[in-house]
Amino acid sequence: MASENSAQNLIKFFQEFQKKTAQNPNANTGELSELRTLARQFETRLNRPTRIFIGGEYGSGKSTLANILAGEQLIPASILSGGLPPLIFRYGAAIGAGAGWWGKKVNALADYIDFVELTAENPDFIVIQLPNPILKQFNFFDAPGAQQPAKPDRRVEEMIKRADMLVWCTNVLQAWAEPEKKQWSKLPEKIRDHGILVVTHVDLPAAQHGFERVMSRLMKQAGPGFQAIASFAAPTAIDAAPGGKTTDKRMWKDSGAASVLANILSEVDLIQETLISDIGATAKSKFVPFVMARNTDKKQKVETPPPPAKAPTPAPSKPQEAKDLHPILQSWNLKVDALITIAETPESIDDGDYIQTSCDVVMEIIDTISEADVLDDKTDWILPQFHDALDLLILLQVEDGDTPVIDATNILVQLGRDLPKIASLTK
Ligand SMILES: Nc1nc2c(ncn2[C@@H]2O[C@H](COP(=O)(O)OP(=O)(O)OP(=O)(O)O)[C@@H](O)[C@H]2O)c(=O)[nH]1
Ligand SMILES: [Mg+2]
């Protein structure tokens, strides 16, 4: 959930950046134009679920697994193995299906799934939209296995380009022979680095003999190329969850489906965390300097507080009695003092919660100052400064800094020094 918050905060940061720079005369040239494009791309990427390509040899059980992940037996047995173009499974509030062509168009989605109709125009792919909440975390692509591996299928290649991770199905009865290994090794490293190997057909009587031996061979030969290996008996999984609802938990676990899903979700989490950390680092190195430099002509250089060696000291003593202060200052001081008190016992704090609360306090004061209409020509630099501070706080959530709580508190203390400079708050 922490990563969910961080993703949302980064999305907010990039949306704000695009909004703030939209009117800039240089919005479409040079560095700013590049940053705006990057902000848009990051926002889109952070907003979409991880995409899984289900790969494997012809007939290895990919569509059967796709049906189980979808939670419904959507792909009829009659057209399992071979009969369909690549399928994209994604989340939607209601069922929908439509044919599509890479780089061209996707037909309007119908509110029913009819594969005969969907394949009639010979599409590059079919989109299937389902109200299954798991699809909010990941989409998956089910492509037919190559019947002639030497002849690449353009439709499938386009799909692979768009994937973030791999689930590779291998039939236990013929697992990991040379041609299969070769097919797998041709996939881009980007998705192979996040691969789960699913060993299918383990329920078949022929698989029982020497099963342990096969699995240990696979561990040795294929294991190093994958993040996890899970064995899978599709018919058992289907019996355990008729209509997509697990009615027999023991059988679901025994089928291997629980483990396949857990491994997928754990890899999806890892991809998401890495993404947030990489994008957060770029935000800090490329975007923050730009944002910070933005107001230099309007105000004195914004001081980024120096990193302190120990816990920060509270805001300087206030000459006025608390009760005499303007309510806006009073409320700010109360909240920040409470946060400083918490920061003095670091062992009791969850860093993420602390920074989130700090963000909330700054967002609130931004709203309050804006609505109170208390700024004039001399102090109109204050609002952008609070916005910049908010950007910094948001980034602290995704950084690997050593002292995020101290850094956050320092930002608040610095803002507390600037706030009384608004004349109408101190009269
Ligand atoms: N017994 C058993 N049969 C399976 C299992 N997984 C798939 N099958 C069967 O294997 C056949 C091929 O499965 P598919 O899911 O169509 O395989 P695929 O990889 O999608 O095939 P292509 O799309 O043609 O590459 C079907 O008859 C499935 O019912 C399994 O774990 N156990
Ligand atoms: Mg298939």
Nearest CA to ligand 1 atom 22: 81
Cα–ligand 2 centroid distance for 50 (angstroms): 21
Give the position of tokens 């016992």.
Answer: 345
Pairing, β 105-106 against β 96-101: antiparallel
Residue 217 in tokens: 């061979």
Indicate the top mutation candidate among 81, 126, 200 to test ligand 1's pocket, ranked by most ligand atoms within 8 A of CB.
81
d(CA 64, CA 257): 12
pLDDT of residue 110 exceeding 70: yes
d(CA 60, CA 170): 5
pLDDT of residue 192 exceeding 80: yes
DSSP 3-state helix, strand, coil percentages of the chain (rounded to 5)? 55, 10, 35
Question: Which atom belonging to ligand 1 lies closest to the Cα atom of 84?
Answer: 23
Tallying the residues shown for the chain, one arrives at: 427
Residue 76 CA: which ligand is closest? Answer: 1
The sheet carrying 165-171 orders its strands as 105-106, 96-101, 125-130, 87-91, 138-142, 50-56, 165-171, 195-200, 228-231
Q: Closest Cα to residue 175, out of 226, 251, 239?
A: 226
Pocket of ligand 1 (CB under 6 A): 56, 58-64, 80-82, 144-145, 169, 200-201, 203-204, 232-235
Output the pTM of the full model: 0.77
What are 257-297's pLDDT values in tens digits?
999 999 999 999 999 999 999 998 888 888 877 876 665 44
Cα–ligand 1 centroid distance for 207 (angstroms): 15
Indicate the top mutation candidate among 62, 63, 64, 89 to test ligand 1's pocket, ranked by most ligand atoms within 8 A of CB.
64
Residue 305: its pLDDT value, please? 44
Cα–ligand 1 centroid distance for 171 (angstroms): 9
Residue 322: its pLDDT value, please? 63
Indicate the top mutation candidate among 53, 57, 63, 166 to test ligand 1's pocket, ranked by most ligand atoms within 8 A of CB.
63
Nearest CA to ligand 1 atom 29: 64
What are 395-419's pLDDT values in tens digits?
887 766 678 888 889 899 889 888 8
What are 331-345's pLDDT values in tens digits?
899 899 888 888 887
Cα–ligand 2 centroid distance for 274 (angstroms): 31
Phi (first) and psi of residue 32, to 5 degrees: -65, -40
Q: Would you tell me how many other CB atoms lie within 10 Å of the CB of residue 411? A: 22
Question: Which atom belonging to ligand 1 lies closest to the Cα atom of 169?
Answer: 19
Phi (first) and psi of residue 120, to 5 degrees: -55, -35
Cα–ligand 1 centroid distance for 316 (angstroms): 71
pLDDT of residue 302 exceeding 70: no
Supply the CATH classification number for the domain 49-255: 3.40.50.300
Residue 146 CA: which ligand is closest? Answer: 1
93-117 average pLDDT score: 94
Cα–ligand 1 centroid distance for 15 (angstroms): 44
Cα–ligand 1 centroid distance for 358 (angstroms): 53
Indicate the top mutation candidate among 67, 80, 170 to test ligand 1's pocket, ranked by most ligand atoms within 8 A of CB.
80
d(CA 333, CA 234): 61
Question: Which atom belonging to ligand 1 lies closest to the Cα atom of 66?
Answer: 15
Residue 313: its pLDDT value, please? 53
Range with the poorest average pLDDT among 69-78, 306-315, 336-345 = 306-315
Q: Where are the domains of the chain?
A: 2-46+277-426, 49-255
CA dihedral 83, 88, 93, 95 (to 10 degrees): -10
Cα–ligand 1 centroid distance for 240 (angstroms): 18
Encoded amino acid at 333, one letter? N
Q: What does the mean pLDDT of the chain come to?
A: 87
Cα–ligand 2 centroid distance for 69 (angstroms): 14
